[in-house]
A and B are shown apart, each in its own frame.
Chain A
Amino acid sequence: MNIFQIVGIAVTGAVFSVMLKGYKPEFAIFVGIATGMLLIAYAVSARGSVFDMIREIVDMSGVDEKYFSLLLKIIGVAYITEFSSEICRDAGQGAISAKLEMIGKLFIMFLSMPIIKSFLEVCIGAVNLL
């Protein structure tokens, strides 16, 4: 799918959503969700090949594999959280989307905690050497 198809999908979805908002706001939200889902699905599937190439580069550079896979996990969590919080904001529920984003940040913090710990251990080790 090239960029024009993507733009076409997005614009048709927006037009349908606005059209339905006058009569049935619930269905306008559903059309918004469907369009958002299609775009995210395309973005995620197109991104897969990029990540494989990055993975090869990471292997060549000798950096530990688990850092890159953790980075991938964090990106995935960020994708999903942003997708669903925007849907809630689109439906007019600002409070719910703010809570969702906060939980997403907490989850990413939770995921990256071991890395932070190992980094601090390295620093402490370095400081003790002095």
Chain B
Amino acid sequence: MEVDLIFRVAGIGIIVAVLNQLLSRSGREEQALLTTIAGLIVVLVIIVNQIGDLFDLVKEIFDL
């Protein structure tokens, strides 16, 4: 739950965007789509883990 979470997610987003452009320009639309999906999955896993930690924190503090 540190600041580098934002930079990690933004970095992955930028990389996927660049790769997507690269692949689609060179005619490989399928690989571009697969790269986007892979990037989405990676970021989703990171975000879901962090959301789990956040909800545990809230549950512990508000003793829900």
Contacts and interface: CB of A to CB of B under 8 A. Distances in A.
B16 A37 contact: no
Interface residues on B, range: 20 to 34
Q: Is the interface of A mostly helix, strand, loop or mixed?
A: helix
9 contacts: A16-B10, A23-B13, A27-B10, A28-B13, A30-B47, A33-B51, A34-B6, A40-B54, A47-B61
Contacts, number: 98
Interface residues of A, number: 33
Contacts of A31: 6, 9-10, 13
B40 A26 contact: yes
Q: Is the interface of B mostly helix, strand, loop or mixed?
A: helix
A20 B36 CA distance: 13
B6 A16 contact: yes
A120 to B, nearest CB: 26
Given A30-B43, A38-B5, A72 B62 contact: yes
A22 B24 CA distance: 16
Contacts of B21: 23
